[in-house]
Amino acid sequence: MTTADQSPGSVTVRVPAKVNLDLRVGPVRPDGYHELSTVFMAVGLHDEVTVTTSDTWRVTVGGPCSAGVPTDDTNLALLAARTLAEEVGVHDPVSLHLHKDIPVAGGMAGGSADAAAALVACDHLWSAGMSRDELADLAGQLGSDVPFALSGGIAMGSGRGEQLAPVLARGSYHWVFALSETGLSTPEVYAECDRLRAGRRVPAPTPSPEVMTALRSGDPQALGRALHNDLQPAALSLQPGLAEVLEAGVEYGALGGLVSGSGPTVAFLTASPEAALDLCVSLTASGVAGDVRRAKAPVHGAQVVPGPTRV
């Protein structure tokens, strides 16, 4: 997280999407969550959240991925702002404007990213002086993916994903994301995962040695081979058409592909920026995917920027 000059009464924070390079889903815990082992990578698809002093609490939304984002009290960014206000004793409301470029209900933690951005923006606006650890604690209360959106980079997540540990990694990676017109509900995907595994022993999740080795060596080919997501069978069960997208991406030269998180976004790792561009062209020209995005990774987590770059 960094700071930058802002207009009085307004702060803008840029925050990235994530992809799970390795997602292992363990048994259901007594609190209803699943025990997870995952490796997060922050990727260069960003939302921007602008927080402005206001007479009332409110949320507005714009951008190419704005459809379906709630603007009532269920909005996670608004909840994050209110949570921080209560924590630091601020009683003045703010308005939040979300510029959405991260898919909604796409398995890339767009809602969590906005919540992380709201925490950073409000902390800056109110000069609250929260430490990174204090913000991370609040983030973990808001959602499993919110702490990672604060930190960015590459990290291993445990617990329900909110407990982070740094990952030794090198190199840059080039991704292509095939977006879906229809989102998937994370609770529904987990429920389908449980249904598909009913009657089978589910072991405690542990990180993939192959993924960790590939990251340490900065080897995209090895990482492409090691990509894994325990939720992928459930996502494919709920949206069977994703299987065709996965097969096409590998056929057109991706080093590896998987459903991102709970889906339905499909993520493909490529060997270079040129290979990523070629894959985008192939996926769209074939009609397999209508909306594709390229992104470089890893990138920083939520950080203050001088002002909105998009409306």
Closest CA to 260 of 47, 105, 147, 106: 106
18 is an active site residue: yes
The residue annotated as part of the active site, out of 5, 18, 72, 114, is: 18
Q: Could you tell me which residues come within 8 angstroms of residue 149 by beta carbon, excluding any fewer than 6 positions away?
A: 15, 16, 18, 42, 109, 112, 113, 115, 116, 117, 139, 301, 302
What are the beta bridge partners of residue 176?
268, 294
What length is written for the chain? 311
145 is an active site residue: yes
The structure tokens listed for 211 are 């993924």
CA distance 270 to 261: 18
The residue annotated as part of the active site, out of 133, 145, 230, 291, is: 145
How do strand 10-28 and strand 58-62 relate by DSSP bridges? unpaired
The structure tokens listed for 262 are 């709970």
- DSSP H helices, 218-262, are 220-226, 232-238, 242-251
Helix axes 110-125, 132-142, angle to 10 degrees: 140
CA–CA distances in Å: residue 66 to residues 79, 102, 105, 197: 18, 9, 11, 34
What are the beta bridge partners of residue 292?
178
Which residues are known to be catalytic? 18, 145
